[in-house]
């Protein structure tokens, strides 16, 4: 009998014929457990193409990615001296341990950012802190009077620049990213100041929404913000985006003119409301601006970071958390833990919790720390400048960031198949 070559067997039994015998429900469970990169490759299989493109499968994949896999992170390098710009925006995937990060996606910057002119040396980083929601990462320009907003899905390598929104009086972006918990629709929310007096008590703040994955491809106005929204990170928890805000208080000498507050934006209803502040939150006017205390998401709860120095001179960060609402509909804050720092930090941002209850923190932008809540010990994981290795193609080309004024933003990340633009 003539010998049949392995190549001939492959011709007679193409992959399509093999997978055709796998029941759809079994194939679905197999695909859900694969990385997005592998799922995208299997779109070439005719019998699976419609399944992978179906929105039901997209939602199931996101749920599985969130529930079944350990937390991972996206690291985005930034630079703070204009002549060091690389002309690209890069997203690296970091697994939360070790010192290796793999390139997820990199793309050339639009010319206005890659070759910005007439900016002083030592200007702050080009990008604000990225925001993550359902596998999408949004970054907004930190440059004065720049309205640039970029949304990227690093897993699918889709990247889009959003159209310019309504001009802000001070040219400072106040942008949030959130998802409707019922429909899964992701929206970019942008607040802008029309006018504001020097006391910050007479102002008008507009708001507009840009739906991703469909719609008209344009900003849509919604109800105005009742208070002055501050340019600070705006986490989204359970369908609501939270902002630091300046609230009116009695003018001097009775008061300072402004008080600290928290605004809640319901992504589905597209309405603002006040959210209770934690007990440690002070109304001092100097805390309203600058880095100030940070709002972030931690294990599905809103987290407020209060930095302080103890009587013994030890720098620490108190992490206060609040659920969206208790059974009676009222939100309540509680002190989650106090993290003793190695030294005072300008910015402390907890951003992820691992399966052992440890809390990952980014301090002063170049370093990732892990706080062991059981032992109450802060451990340094990796420096994102000179210690972390950034791998590119096939783990062969790699480099580290040496010298210069490099900063690194890091946010939690889950892979998804969500699209940015309507298909």
Last residue of a domain, one of 16, 37, 53: 53
Q: Given a cut of 70, is residue 138 above it in pLDDT?
A: yes
* Residue 285 pLDDT: 40
Place of tokens 């994981």: 381
**Mapped to the 3 state alphabet, what secondary structure does the chain carry?**
CCCCCHHHHHHHCCHHHHHCCCCHHHHHHHHHCCCHHHHHHHHHCHHHHHHHHCHHHHHHHHHHHHHHCCCEEEEEEEECCHHHCCCEEEEEEECCCCCEEEEEEEEECCHHHHCCCCCCCCCCCCECCCEEECCEEEEEECCCCCCCEEEEECCCCEEEECCCCCCCCCCCCEEEEEECCCCCCEEEEEEEEEEECCCCCCEEEEEEEEECCCCCCCCEEEEEECCEECCCCCCEECCEEEEEEEEECCCCCCCCCEEEEEEEEECCCCEEEEECCCCCCCCCHHHCCCCCCEEEEECCEEEEEEEEECCCCCEEEEEEEECCCCCCCCCCEEEEEEEECCCCCCCEEEEEECCCCCEEEEECCCEEEEEECCCCEEEEEEECCCCCEEECHHHCCEECCCCCCEEEEEEEECCCCCCCCCC
Using alpha carbons only, give the angle 373, 280, 303 rounded to the nearest 5 degrees.
Answer: 50
CATH of the domain at 335: 2.120.10.80
Q: Is residue 2 part of a domain?
A: no
CA distance 156 to 39: 10
Q: What is the mean pLDDT of residues 260-274?
A: 93
Does one domain contain both 128 and 257? yes
Number of domains within the chain: 2
**Which of these, 4, 419, 2, lies nearest to 213 by C-alpha position?**
419
Q: Is residue 17 part of a domain?
A: yes
- pLDDT tens, 239-262? 999 999 988 866 555 555 678 889
Last residue of a domain, one of 21, 38, 53: 53
Give the relative orientation of helices 55-68 and 46-53 as an angle to the nearest 10 degrees: 80
**Which of these, 255, 244, 258, lies nearest to 198 by C-alpha position?**
258
Q: Is residue 368 part of a domain?
A: yes
Instruction: Please give the mean pLDDT across all residues of the chain.
Output: 79
* Residue 69 pLDDT: 64
- pLDDT tens, 103-115? 999 888 654 444 3
* Residue 204 pLDDT: 94
* Residue 213 pLDDT: 84
Does one domain contain both 48 and 153? no
CA distance 336 to 334: 6
Q: Is residue 373 part of a domain?
A: yes
Range of the domain at 17: 7-53
Does one domain contain both 307 and 232? yes
Does one domain contain both 87 and 21? no
Stretch among 81-95, 308-322, 393-407 having the lowest mean pLDDT:
393-407
Q: Given a cut of 60, is residue 122 above it in pLDDT?
A: no
* Residue 264 pLDDT: 94
Does one domain contain both 138 and 260? yes
Cis amide prior to 253 (ω within 30 degrees): yes
pTM of the model: 0.83
Structure tokens at 117: 């002119």
- pLDDT tens, 45-76? 877 888 888 888 888 888 887 776 667 899 98
Does one domain contain both 102 and 49? no
* Residue 256 pLDDT: 56
Does one domain contain both 169 and 134? yes
Does one domain contain both 272 and 334? yes
Q: What is the mean pLDDT of residues 254-272?
A: 84
- Determine contact, residues 421/160, Cβ cutoff 8 Å: yes
- Determine contact, residues 347/365, Cβ cutoff 8 Å: yes
**Which of these, 307, 300, 342, lies nearest to 321 by C-alpha position?**
300
* Residue 177 pLDDT: 96
Does one domain contain both 37 and 139? no
Strand order in the sheet with 100-108: 398-399, 389-391, 100-108, 88-94, 72-79, 406-413
Q: Is residue 420 part of a domain?
A: no
CA distance 24 to 284: 60
* Percentage above 70 pLDDT, the chain: 76
What is the band of 117 on the pLDDT scale with cuts at 50, 70, 90?
Answer: very low
Q: Given a cut of 90, is residue 141 above it in pLDDT?
A: no
- pLDDT tens, 1-34? 444 454 544 444 454 445 557 777 788 888 888 8
- Determine contact, residues 186/178, Cβ cutoff 8 Å: yes
Q: What is the mean pLDDT of residues 367-379?
A: 91
Q: Is residue 272 part of a domain?
A: yes
Q: Is residue 206 part of a domain?
A: yes
Q: Is residue 381 part of a domain?
A: yes
* Residue 10 pLDDT: 46
- pLDDT tens, 178-229? 999 888 899 999 999 999 988 788 899 999 999 998 767 889 999 999 999 9
Does one domain contain both 345 and 267? yes
Does one domain contain both 47 and 187? no
Does one domain contain both 214 and 321? yes
CA distance 416 to 37: 10
CA distance 95 to 174: 29
Q: What is the mean pLDDT of residues 68-97?
A: 74
């Amino acid at each position: 009998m003539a010998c049949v070559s392995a190549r001939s067997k492959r011709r007679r039994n193409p992959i399509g014929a093999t997978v055709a015998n796998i029941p759809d429900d079994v194939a679905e469970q197999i695909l859900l457990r694969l990385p997005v990169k592998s799922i995208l490759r299997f779109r070439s299989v005719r019998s699976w193409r419609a399944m992978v493109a179906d929105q039901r499968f997209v939602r199931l994949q996101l749920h599985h990615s969130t529930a079944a896999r350990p937390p991972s992170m996206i690291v985005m390098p930034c630079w703070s001296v204009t002549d060091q710009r690389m002309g690209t925006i890069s997203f690296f995937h970091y697994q939360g341990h070790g010192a290796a990060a793999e390139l997820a996606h990199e793309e050339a910057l639009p010319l206005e950012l890659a070759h910005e002119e007439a900016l002083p040396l030592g200007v702050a980083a080009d990008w604000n802190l990225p925001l993550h929601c359902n596998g999408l990462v949004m970054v907004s320009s930190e440059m004065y009077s720049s309205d640039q907003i970029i949304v990227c899905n690093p897993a699918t390598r889709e990247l889009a620049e959003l159209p310019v929104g309504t001009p802000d009086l001070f040219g400072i972006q106040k942008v949030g990213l959130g998802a409707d918990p019922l429909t899964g629709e992701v929206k970019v929310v942008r607040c802008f100041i029309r006018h504001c007096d020097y006391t910050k008590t007479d102002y008008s703040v507009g708001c507009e929404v840009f739906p991703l994955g469909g719609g008209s491809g344009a900003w849509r106005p919604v109800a105005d913000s009742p208070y002055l929204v501050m340019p600070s990170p705006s986490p989204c928890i359970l369908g609501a985006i939270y902002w630091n805000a300046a609230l009116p208080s009695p003018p001097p000498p009775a008061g300072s003119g402004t008080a600290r507050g928290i605004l809640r934006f319901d992504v589905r209803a597209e309405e603002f409301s006040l959210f209770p502040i934690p007990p440690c939150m002070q109304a001092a006017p100097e805390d309203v601006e600058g880095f100030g205390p940070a709002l972030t998401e931690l294990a599905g709860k809103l987290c407020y970071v209060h930095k302080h120095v103890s009587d013994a001179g030890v720098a620490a960060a108190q992490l206060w958390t609040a659920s969206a609402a208790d059974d009676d509909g009222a939100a309540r804050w509680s002190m989650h833990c106090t993290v003793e720092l190695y030294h005072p930090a300008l910015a402390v941002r907890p951003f992820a919790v691992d399966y052992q209850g440890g809390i990952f923190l980014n301090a002063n932008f170049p370093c990732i720390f892990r706080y062991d809540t059981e032992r109450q010990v802060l451990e340094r994981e990796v420096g994102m400048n000179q210690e972390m290795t950034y791998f590119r193609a096939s783990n062969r080309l790699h480099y580290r960031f040496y010298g210069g004024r490099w900063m690194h933003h890091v946010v939690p990340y889950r892979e998804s198949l969500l699209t940015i633009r309507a298909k």
